Structure 1
Amino acid sequence: MANESALDDRIATRARVTVDDVRRVFESQGIPLGAPPARPRHLRIHRLRVAGVRTGALEPGPFDTTFRFDVGLTALVASNLRGKSSVLELVTWCLRGTPREKSGAIHWLSEVDLDATVAGQAMAFRLNLDNEEITSAVALSGPNPAVLEAHRCPDPAQGVLPLFRAQSSGSYAEQVQALMMNWMDLPPLVSAKQGTSTVTHGWPAYFGALYLPAARASALLGDVVMSGLPGRLLQVFLDLPAAGILTKVKTQAELMATARKRRQSAAATAQEERAAQRRHIEEELSTARTRLAQVKQRGSGFDRESLPDLAAAAMSLARVVADKQQSWDDLMRVHRQARVQRQRDEKLLNDVRESAIARRLFHGLDPTACPRCDQDIAADRRRLEREAHSCAVCARPVEGDDEAPEDVLAEAEERVQLSSQAERLAKDALEQVEGELNQLSRDLQMAQEKLRRADAATQVPEYAQAQEDVLRLEGALSVLPALPDAPDDPAEDLAIKVLRASVKTLEDDHAKEADKLFADLNAAISDLGRKFGFAGLESVSIDRAAHLKVISDGGHERSFTDQVAGERLRLRIAVIVALLRVGAAHQVSTHPGLLLIDSPKAEEIQDVDFHLLLEELNAVASANQLQVLVTTADFGLVHDVLPPDGIIEAAVGKPLW
């Protein structure tokens, strides 16, 4: 991977800016320039303990069960609906922060303990539960899993220290996700949403590559297809140069470019609309000026100097009268609303004085229409509510004691007082504005009369009107100046230029590094797919977007989503193991090496195929530092493949915990 200084230079050269410009842009966007190789992120679980009280017909009573997990493949075997999948969900709850789904048996639990090693650090997760929710939880670190096993609380003397505490399910989820992202050295996966905002995917998205989704799901890696997450997970697990940085840079460049484009488009649209308005007014103004000039030429014997002043005064008063009229209209609406409210409150007061049912419904809703279909509530329903005590909305009888009638009556009287006061205040304000409007109207009439009397010539009214039109249009034009172009933002332009150059530079780095890795990855996936029982598989081709082309059956090419459910499962497992192989060979930090598979035999896999899958998965798990938990109800097949220490089973028909 290119060092940070070389990356500065290459971006600056491509963008044709200085290295300082590049550094300032990255600093202003809060994006680190370059990133060191990721730390190892191996994840292994050691022990799961569950305790609580089972209810129901099947072995009721308290229980305290401990499961221990070794490296390689461990099969959880029990009859259907006997707790196999819930073990995977409890491991998921402890490590992911939330289970994918809560099984019906979780409500029995009061304590859940999980011991694990996270990126080389021994950790313990201690959950106290009530009614399927966390009431308290703590994450502990310690010198080794053996020491942590004996602790549910911090013990500094033994080196057992708290990493965080939580008092609710939400708090635990938030804190454990932040903890795992930090310790596993995983970058947030950021993407743009419709060019206006960002969406950030964290540890739950990564965990989808550990707990395999149903085989029919369409994502090759992880359990979310949107935002290109499978490809982003693949790039992180191959530790392609600055995969997380590239995501942030690409997203920020897209957001900034979209915002600039929308701003420029909005400015251009506003300019066009303003120009059209000005052209229309200018045409009218030209016509008005021509008409005024014609009237002046025809006119004689009137005072040309006084008429403009009188016309201007009349126009000014007309504007003031129009504004005052609008104020009067607004206050009239307020007064009417206040009067209606006072009348409603008086009617309500009368009702609560006369009816116990009215007092009981006093604090309830009083809809005017059905809340579902918006039909008005008929008058006969309201009459029946008063007389027959049936609800005006649902027509059911209204029953109950008339509690605290004096309080209801007092509150109703207080409402009448308040609404009456509001009506008086609205009326006073209305009358004041009405007086001002009358005076202004009289002033306007006087100004207009002066204008009419200014000269007896018949042309005077026509002249005044023509001049008024000119003044009005000149005023309208003055308040609608031509809009300038959208202002340039040099800092924004520089940032977009640098970020786009950075995307291309980082993608070049990705492509160069990918060339070294993807040939090995394709070969490993093909080899593993055949070992896992994918009959007819010849080769595969995976790209950085995690799109997988599958060549099988004599050169027939199909995509991953074209495969049947069982083949999708085999390919998903093959991709995980291949990542571990390639990561070890190229010494890059890759997949955490923990895999949870729920009931693979249910995914269109026959007995012989399942036997082969388990056999090969057991072989490659230990060889590739992979820890696998798989659930099944097939007791015989598991014992044919795995040694006893690789099987955790319950008696037929009995619960696993």
Structure 2
Amino acid sequence: MSSKTEINYREFIKYVHLNFEEDISSEEVEDLLHLEESYNKDSPTSLGKSLLLNRLVFSGTKLSGEAINFDQTLHKGINIWIADNHKGKSTIFKIIKFALTGNDSIKKDIKLWIHEILLEFTIGKVTYTCNIDRTGRDKGALYSFNIDQYNSYKANQKLDTIQKDVEFVFNSRQDFEDKLQNFFFEQFSFYNLKYTQKSGGKDSFELSTSSLSWSTYFKSIYLESSNYEYLFFDNEKFGSQGKKIFEMILGLPLTYPINMLNVQRDRISEKIGQIKLVDKSKVDTTRSTKERLDKRYQEVIRELDSIKKNAEINFDERPLVEEYGKIQERANQIRINQRTLTDSYQAEKAKLIPVEEEIRNLESDRHKINTEISKLKKQELNLEIYKQSQSFFSNLEIKTCPHCELQVSDAKKENEREHHICSLCGEESTEQKVDESELSQKVTQIKEEIVGHNDKLKQISTTIGKAEALIKNIKKSVEDHYGKLIAIPSIEPDNRRLKEIESEIALVNKERGKYKDSIEKKDQLIKEEAILSFQLEEIKKVELNVVSQELVALNLKKSILDYALSALEKKRIVLNKDILAKLEQLILNEVNVFGLKSISQIEINDRYELIFTQNGVPISFNDLNEGEKLRVKIAFYLSLIQLDIEHRLGRHPRFLIFDSPGSEEMVPKHLQGLSDIFKSINDRFKDQLQIFVGSALREFAQITDEDRTFIKNEDEFIF
């Protein structure tokens, strides 16, 4: 969008703040005027997109059992259905409306006949097919391909496998309506314009906020027979809906900020009205209740004085309660200290167990090692004895057997040396004689083991010494903790005093019971005195006309919004001057072409109302007669489309539905003129727009090409 149709947001904030700089900061002004989206959200430049319906298919069963199989190819230019009244023309359009908006206005009895709807349409270069299954709760989908492809996928059971060509799936009518709105808003850059309206009686300040939906904007496409009397539709007075449709279709700059700030201002005005209503109520209350409240207040004071004089006994147990609380707190603290020191004492004692266990284990290890050393020393001694005895016997040579006294021959001695066969008994020896070096090595090894065990004994002795020192320290700590524990004072005196206090409080309550009624009365009067005092203070504030800070702040905000909106409206008049001038000229050209030569000028005023100069006199749309209204309305909507075609401005989708334009009571001259109007539109723009016309007038049979004319015989239904 060019800079000519934009507003500088920062400069705008500075401009507004300059007028209120003594009352509010620039940051607060920006907080008030800041919106979710840009002030330059709107653009009149056309997106170059149009809506073109290609084919409508729906099926079902009539109440009579007759099958419905409607399948109609649709074309650019004018498509017309001609049939008698109540023969299905409006139903065709309502089915199209339903498939494009999700808004179901089909007659309830006919609605039950229709089981499935398929509508194929093109936006820009993309073709879509909307499928609606009405056999239960409405469900279906919007696909980005044509009906033939849909039927092919369906026949091959592949619809559920499609993903990339599915725009959305819906499972209820509301879901369908919401998703269609999102889809078409995105396609044509539409959005919700909001408005407020009173939700209570005429004196109420409560407002409800509503939004213009895609279904509402669709009223600029679907021109129903009941609304030809109005430029937009019959209930456009609510929230100036007609004006807002006009702003959205044209994409007028600053529409978004003006709309949002208007809603914000309405809400602030609502709050101001509510506060003022409360203030007015306070003033009215002052006049009727002040004397009554004063009188009762004096009575209460007198009654309280009387009760105080008659009740000399003091039933105030608060000192006892305070003492009770302090003693309880002290006793609880003693219990906590006892638990804490007991836990510490037990924890210190528990430390002795593992250390004593460790010493026992070490003593056991020392005993085992000493036993092993004794065992090794015996082995060492035995080896020394063996070594000595072996040395003795190895030098002794036996020459004669001690038993038989026969000589031992040299051959037997040799055999003994080689085969270990005893030269005396002749038996083979299974034990080999131990070598002396081997015995020495074994002795050395035993000595080394003894040394190793002695080292271990030293380590064990050292560890035991440390453990015994630790035990000594722990026992000292245990003694200290025990001394602290037994030093804690007993809570028995406190417990006795608590019981005494409980008895004293019970006695006070018993005495109070004797004066129960007087005490209750006193309490009630004290409460009533406080309430009356508060009410009288509030009345004084109202009498002094004290304006709340909230009201001052709200009035300032409203003034800022008024000023900002006034500036934006003035700026928009400048920004929109060119586009509105082009539209005014287009409408004037068309109404003149349509035979209204008496209209010499058309002006769109600051409220976006059409002012016609007819025979030199300014008049509004409502001042035109029925025939003039119809022609002006057709000219108006056609001009919105021409604005896009000729000047690339606006967002109208170049698609219109005229349901029963004109009436059977029209004079032949006017009827022929209306027929000529449609024929002229078709001749001039048939490749650039699409218009559907439904009529019972046979005179319309020639307004478009034959392949776009669907004529039914008298008393024959469209489907």
| Both proteins in one fold, TM over 0.5 | yes
Q: Name the structure 2 match of 1:581.
A: 642
Alignment map for 1:30-109 (pairs within 5 Å): 30=36, 32-37=38-43, 40=47, 42-56=50-64, 61-102=66-107, 104-109=109-114
The one-character-per-residue Cα deviations of 1:213-271 (angstroms, maximum 9, x if unpaired) are: 33665531245322211111112222211313311210111211320342244246437
Q: Which amino acid aligns with 1:549?
A: I
Structure 1 residue 511 corresponds to structure 2 residue 522:
no
What is the number of residues matched between the two proteins?
497
Alignment map for 1:238-387 (pairs within 5 Å): 238-267=250-279, 269-270=281-282, 273=285, 309-311=308-310
Alignment map for 1:39-188 (pairs within 5 Å): 40=47, 42-56=50-64, 61-102=66-107, 104-118=109-123, 121-130=126-135, 134-142=137-145, 161-188=165-192
Alignment map for 1:554-633 (pairs within 5 Å): 554-602=615-663, 604-620=665-681, 623=684, 625-633=688-696
The one-character-per-residue Cα deviations of 1:501-530 (angstroms, maximum 9, x if unpaired) are: 331222122211333233332332222123
> For the residues of structure 2 that align with 1:572 and 1:149, how far apart are their CA atoms?
40
| Alignment CA distance shift 1:489-1:214 (3 Å) | same
Deviation of residue 537 (structure 1)? 3.5
Aligned residue for 2:603, secondary structure, equals strand
> For the residues of structure 2 that align with 1:2 and 1:641, how far apart are their CA atoms?
43
| Alignment CA distance shift 1:507-1:610 (3 Å) | same
Q: Name the structure 1 match of 2:215.
A: 204
Contact map agreement 1:206 1:233 (CA 8 A) in 2: yes
> For the residues of structure 2 that align with 1:533 and 1:103, how far apart are their CA atoms?
40
Aligned residue for 2:537, secondary structure, equals coil
- Alpha carbon RMSD of aligned pairs, Å? 4.3
Contact map agreement 1:532 1:616 (CA 8 A) in 2: yes
> For the residues of structure 1 that align with 2:62 and 2:697, how far apart are their CA atoms?
25
> For the residues of structure 1 that align with 2:627 and 2:158, how far apart are their CA atoms?
45
| Alignment CA distance shift 1:618-1:185 (3 Å) | farther
| Alignment CA distance shift 1:288-1:35 (3 Å) | closer
The one-character-per-residue Cα deviations of 1:108-141 (angstroms, maximum 9, x if unpaired) are: 22111001124654322101123xx653221223
Q: Which amino acid aligns with 2:174?
A: G
Contact map agreement 1:190 1:248 (CA 8 A) in 2: yes
Structure 1 residue 25 corresponds to structure 2 residue 80:
no
> For the residues of structure 2 that align with 1:601 and 1:611, how far apart are their CA atoms?
11
| Alignment CA distance shift 1:269-1:615 (3 Å) | same
Contact map agreement 2:228 2:633 (CA 8 A) in 1: no
Aligned residue for 1:605, secondary structure, equals coil
Aligned residue for 1:138, secondary structure, equals strand
Among candidates 497, 500, 504, match of residue 562 of structure 2: 500
The one-character-per-residue Cα deviations of 1:264-304 (angstroms, maximum 9, x if unpaired) are: 44246437746986676568878999x99xxxxxxxxxxxx
> Which runs of 5 or more structure 1 residues have no equivalent in the other structure?
293-305, 318-437, 449-466
> For the residues of structure 2 that align with 1:491 and 1:50, how far apart are their CA atoms?
59
Contact map agreement 1:78 1:632 (CA 8 A) in 2: yes
- Structure 1 length-normalised TM: 0.65
Mean CA deviation greater in 157-166 or 41-50? 157-166
Deviation of residue 580 (structure 1)? 2.1
Deviation of residue 472 (structure 1)? 10
Contact map agreement 1:549 1:558 (CA 8 A) in 2: yes
Deviation of residue 574 (structure 1)? 0.9
Q: Name the structure 2 match of 1:525.
A: 587
Structure 1 residue 482 corresponds to structure 2 residue 537:
yes
Q: Name the structure 1 match of 2:481.
A: none
Aligned residue for 1:51, secondary structure, equals strand
Deviation of residue 190 (structure 1)? 1.1
> For the residues of structure 2 that align with 1:494 and 1:475, how far apart are their CA atoms?
36
Q: Name the structure 1 match of 2:602.
A: 540
The one-character-per-residue Cα deviations of 1:423-453 (angstroms, maximum 9, x if unpaired) are: xxxxxxxxxxxxxxx99896267899xxxxx
Q: Name the structure 2 match of 1:302.
A: none
Deviation of residue 534 (structure 1)? 3.8
Identity of aligned residues (%): 16
Aligned residue for 1:79, secondary structure, equals coil
Aligned residue for 1:233, secondary structure, equals helix
Q: Name the structure 1 match of 2:373.
A: none
Aligned residue for 2:128, secondary structure, equals strand
Contact map agreement 1:72 1:628 (CA 8 A) in 2: yes
Q: Name the structure 1 match of 2:718.
A: 656
Contact map agreement 1:197 1:255 (CA 8 A) in 2: no
| Alignment CA distance shift 1:52-1:507 (3 Å) | same
Q: Name the structure 2 match of 1:320.
A: none
> For the residues of structure 1 that align with 2:41 and 2:95, how far apart are their CA atoms?
34
Deviation of residue 101 (structure 1)? 3.9
| Alignment CA distance shift 1:493-1:561 (3 Å) | closer
> For the residues of structure 1 that align with 2:312 and 2:242, how far apart are their CA atoms?
74
Deviation of residue 150 (structure 1)? 5.2
Contact map agreement 2:188 2:651 (CA 8 A) in 1: no
Q: Name the structure 1 match of 2:6.
A: 2
Mean CA deviation greater in 43-52 or 261-270? 261-270
> For the residues of structure 1 that align with 2:558 and 2:630, how far apart are their CA atoms?
42
Deviation of residue 308 (structure 1)? 7.6
| Alignment CA distance shift 1:154-1:119 (3 Å) | farther
Q: Name the structure 1 match of 2:447.
A: none
| Alignment CA distance shift 1:542-1:129 (3 Å) | same
Contact map agreement 1:231 1:546 (CA 8 A) in 2: yes
Deviation of residue 48 (structure 1)? 0.5
> For the residues of structure 2 that align with 1:472 and 1:215, how far apart are their CA atoms?
66
The one-character-per-residue Cα deviations of 1:429-482 (angstroms, maximum 9, x if unpaired) are: xxxxxxxxx99896267899xxxxxxxxxxxxxxxxxx99x9999656544462
Higher relative contact order (CA 8 A, sep 6+): 2
> For the residues of structure 2 that align with 1:446 and 1:503, how far apart are their CA atoms?
65
> Which runs of 5 or more structure 2 residues have no equivalent in the other structure?
199-204, 317-509
Q: Name the structure 2 match of 1:347.
A: none
Q: Which amino acid aligns with 1:528?
A: E
Structure 1 residue 443 corresponds to structure 2 residue 498:
no
| Alignment CA distance shift 1:472-1:252 (3 Å) | closer
User: Which structure shows the higher helix fraction?
Assistant: 2
Contact map agreement 2:630 2:662 (CA 8 A) in 1: no
Contact map agreement 2:579 2:649 (CA 8 A) in 1: no
Larger radius of gyration: 2
> For the residues of structure 2 that align with 1:560 and 1:123, how far apart are their CA atoms?
38
Among candidates 239, 242, 255, match of residue 230 of structure 1: 242
> For the residues of structure 2 that align with 1:615 and 1:103, how far apart are their CA atoms?
36
Deviation of residue 94 (structure 1)? 0.5
The one-character-per-residue Cα deviations of 1:359-400 (angstroms, maximum 9, x if unpaired) are: xxxxxxxxxxxxxxxxxxxxxxxxxxxxxxxxxxxxxxxxxx
